[in-house]
Amino acid sequence: LADAGVEILFVPYCTDDRQGHARVRYCSHARAIENQIYVVTAGVVGNLPSVPAMDIHYGQAAIFTPSDFEFSRDGIHAEADSNVETMLVSDLDIHDLYRSRSSGSVRPRLDRRLDLFEFHAHLRNDLEILNPEEAEPIGPTPEDEDE
């Protein structure tokens, strides 16, 4: 995400229980740490009894940061109370992201192995659903590596 220029990721969500909310929260915090970006979450709260499957919600607004010295303790810049209709307003310093990326105590973006982000599929030639021309391997094959 950060390689594509993202500095703040907004994550609106709608969950109906605490477990669903926890999945969104933990994944959002992970994105903030691994990409060294701010992540702002906003969950639906309240109820809509006249709308099918929308009678209950569990949500909480929060702003997550990378976990480093430039940022708030525990990587949580701000958070509202759970299940309370609240507008969370806060100032974020984008330059803190830049400082953390260049001289932070942990720099996950610099430690990434970009070769692990590549995908090579090796297809068998006897697949019935494909024409023989379409069933050729994509990328290097194990035979190519032996040569």
Q: What is the pLDDT along the chain (147 residues), one digit of tens a residue?
A: 888 899 999 999 999 899 999 999 999 999 999 999 999 999 999 888 888 888 889 999 999 999 988 898 899 999 999 999 989 999 999 999 999 998 888 888 888 888 887 877 776 655 555 565 666 666 676 666 666
Instruction: Look up the pTM and report it.
Output: 0.75
Q: Where are the domains of the chain?
A: 2-112
Residue 71: the pLDDT is: 92
d(CA 72, CA 48): 35
- Helix locations, the chain, DSSP H: 18-35, 94-103, 108-111, 142-146
Residue 130: the pLDDT is: 56
d(CA 58, CA 16): 5
- Helix locations, 36-105, DSSP H: 94-103
CATH fold of 2-112, please? Nitrilase/N-carbamoyl-D-aminoacid amidohydrolase (3.60.110)
Q: Which residues does 93 contact at the CB level (< 8 Å), separation at least 6?
A: none
d(CA 109, CA 43): 28
